[in-house]
Amino acid sequence: MIGLMIVFLLLIIIVEGPGIVKRREWKEIFVISFFSLLALLYGLDYALRSYLLPDPKSLIYMLLPLAEQVMAFFNLTH
Amino acid sequence: MDNSSLSERQLAFLLFMTLMGNALILAPISGSGRDAWIANLLASLVGLYLLFAIISIQKAFPGQSIIKISEICLGKVAGKILSFIFITMIFYSIIIYLFDACILIRTIFPFLTCYLLRPLVVISIAYCIYKGSNSIGRLADLFAPVTLLFIIGSLLIITTAADFSRLQPIAADWRMLVGGTLDGAGWPYSVITVLALFLPFKSDPGGKHRLLYIWFFVGVIIFTVRSMLVMAILGPEYVLLVRFPLYASLRFVAYADFQRVELFFFVLWFISGFMVLLINYMAGVLAVKEYFNLTHFKSIILPTGFFLTVISLYMYNSDMEFYTLEGITTPLLKLSINLLYPTILLLAIKIRGRSLQSSQVGPDSSPASSKA
């Protein structure tokens, strides 16, 4: 996981870094940093198995009881 | 045709590949039992409506992205909120497609780990997106006929193992049929909403969209025949136990000493899985570009890929959990968001009518004319 993050970060810095800094595209720099930082935080959380960040899957779990009720009403099986 | 435009044929092929995606091998709507093929036909009406809706929205604002259109129609705040939900749905779809593609590859190459496979798939797709929308259109030009050929081939081959008595009685349980229709409307039919992000690239925005409807119907016919055959071969109980029903159906076929027929069709699973990921990834990147008003989309391809790879590993690293959760919730989730988003926009366009035309944004914000 750490290796994966290093590869991606290096790729982003090498491929995108010089261009956007040269053109001074602040919005692009903000969006790139936002996605990279989120990925980095979640990646570290996963690699260190600390699970301190909110799991996006919990939103899907919130929908599960409703989905199960719909399936039961329509006699559907999965 | 410039480097960023797409012809009507290319858009139609993109629609076809989006529809096929992983639904070809996973055989959705199987939960509705022997009436899956009828449920499939009924669910296609929702797909047809969505296709009509996204085309109508595009016709009202030629060359504008649906993300921009939502801001024009609903206002800055409401438009942004609705678009954020839609973009989240696209990202979640990418995570699902990525997981499915890697699971499929691992059935053939079991020793490849997900830590290697997922970034490899994402980086390959990122490379294709770097080449621009026209290259994706050309890829669809190349892959759609090959996919169609392999689909017809696979369906013809499995016909020999079909026992059509398994499809009877027809429409015995109306609840199951209605449930299957809703299930199918959510997945695979509602996923075509993502094509709304490619429509502004159409080379003649005011032109006809007949080919899109034709290829949509080709997809519906394929799914209906596939549903009938898979159910006739595996039966309604066994079809729920196997992970890839069409793949399992092909494993039933053996011609004398000619074994492992299903491996010939691996190219079909791979192409359809790759293309649907590519289309959704591109749509996600285009949506983020429009959402943040960026001048280029290329600069956010790799960061988005990085984010999606990590989040997919964070969310789903066990296929047991994935299939329990995803199979039940995804159709409902996809149906509600993919149906509501274009419907709200279409209603806003119909209600507000002329007043919207005066508040349109300038031509520089259109994706086709941007530097991307």
The winner for highest mean pLDDT among B24-28, B140-144, B320-324 is B140-144
Match 């990122």 to its residue by tokens: B126
| Residue B275 near residue B74 (C-beta atoms within 8 A) | no
* Cβ separation B178–A74 shorter than 8 A: yes
Residue A77 forms part of a structural domain: no
Number of domains in chain B: 1
Rounded Cα gap, residues B325 and A63, in angstroms: 10
* Cβ separation B306–A39 shorter than 8 A: yes
Residue B60 forms part of a structural domain: yes
* Residue B232 pLDDT > 80: yes
Rounded Cα gap, residues B11 and B18, in angstroms: 10
Rounded Cα gap, residues A10 and B286, in angstroms: 23
The verdict on B296 touching A (C-beta cutoff 8 Å) is: yes
* Residue B1 pLDDT > 70: no
Instruction: Tell me how long chain B is.
Output: 372
Could you tell me the CATH number of the domain that includes residue B303? 1.20.1740.10
Structure tokens at B272: 């359809």
- Tell which residue, B346, B265, B292, has the closest CA to residue A31: B292
* Residue B218 pLDDT > 50: yes
At residue B100, the pLDDT reads 86
* Cβ separation B307–A35 shorter than 8 A: yes
Rounded to the nearest angstrom, the minimum Cα separation between A12 and chain B is 6
Long-range residue pairs from A33-37, CB within 8 A, at least 24 positions apart, any chain: A35/B300, A35/B303, A35/B304, A35/B306, A35/B307, A36/A9, A36/A12, A36/B303, A36/B306, A36/B307
DSSP code of B361? P
Match 């830590």 to its residue by tokens: B115
Residue to mutate among A31, A49, A51, A64, with most B CBs inside 10 A, is: A31
Q: How many CB pairs under 8 A join A and B?
A: 129
Residue B272 forms part of a structural domain: yes
Tell me the pLDDT band of B194, cut-offs 50, 70 and 90.
very high
* Cβ separation B303–A56 shorter than 8 A: no
Residue B5 forms part of a structural domain: no
At residue B362, the pLDDT reads 44
Chain A hits for B175, CB-CB cut-off 8 Å, are 73-75
The verdict on B333 touching A (C-beta cutoff 8 Å) is: yes
At residue A78, the pLDDT reads 67
* Residue B371 pLDDT > 60: no
* Cβ separation A11–B288 shorter than 8 A: no
* Cβ separation A42–B311 shorter than 8 A: yes
* Cβ separation B314–A45 shorter than 8 A: yes
Residue B130 forms part of a structural domain: yes
pTM of the model: 0.91
Rounded to 5°, the CA angle B331-B189-B5 comes to: 125
Rounded Cα gap, residues B173 and B33, in angstroms: 10
Q: Which of residues 239-258 of B touch A (CB under 8 A)?
A: 240
Considering only CB atoms, B299 lies closest to which of A9, A11, A16, namely: A16
Residue B257 forms part of a structural domain: yes
Residue B264's CB is within 10 A of a number of other CB atoms, namely: 13
Nearest CA in chain A to B115: A1
* Residue B369 pLDDT > 50: no
Query: What mean pLDDT is reported for chain B?
Result: 87
| pLDDT (average), residues B263-291 | 90
At residue B11, the pLDDT reads 95
Residue B65 forms part of a structural domain: yes
Instruction: Dump pLDDT digits (tens) for A12-47.
Output: 999 988 888 888 888 999 999 999 999 999 999 999
* Residue B372 pLDDT > 90: no
Rounded Cα gap, residues B20 and B189, in angstroms: 10
Residue B71's CB is within 10 A of a number of other CB atoms, namely: 22
Residue A64 forms part of a structural domain: no
Residue A37 forms part of a structural domain: yes
Number of domains in chain A: 1
The fraction of chain B above a pLDDT of 90, given in percent, is 51
| Alpha-helix runs per DSSP H in chain B | 8-20, 23-26, 36-60, 66-74, 76-108, 114-130, 133-159, 174-186, 210-241, 245-251, 266-291, 301-315, 319-352, 354-357
Q: What is the dihedral of CA A60, A61, A65, A70, to 10 degrees?
A: 30
Residue B172's CB is within 10 A of a number of other CB atoms, namely: 11
Q: Which range of residues forms the domain containing residue B78?
A: 12-354
Chain A hits for B309, CB-CB cut-off 8 Å, are 4, 8, 39
| pLDDT (average), residues B126-147 | 92
Considering only CB atoms, B329 lies closest to which of A1, A27, A64, namely: A64
Q: What are phi and psi of B258, to 5 degrees?
A: -85, 95
* Cβ separation A8–B302 shorter than 8 A: yes
The ipTM of this complex is: 0.94
- Tell which residue, A12, A60, A36, has the closest CA to residue B328: A60
Residue B242 forms part of a structural domain: yes
Rounded to the nearest angstrom, the minimum Cα separation between A17 and chain B is 9
Residue B270 forms part of a structural domain: yes
| pLDDT (average), residues B61-72 | 92
At residue B24, the pLDDT reads 77
Rounded Cα gap, residues A11 and B303, in angstroms: 9
Q: Which range of residues forms the domain containing residue A16?
A: 2-53
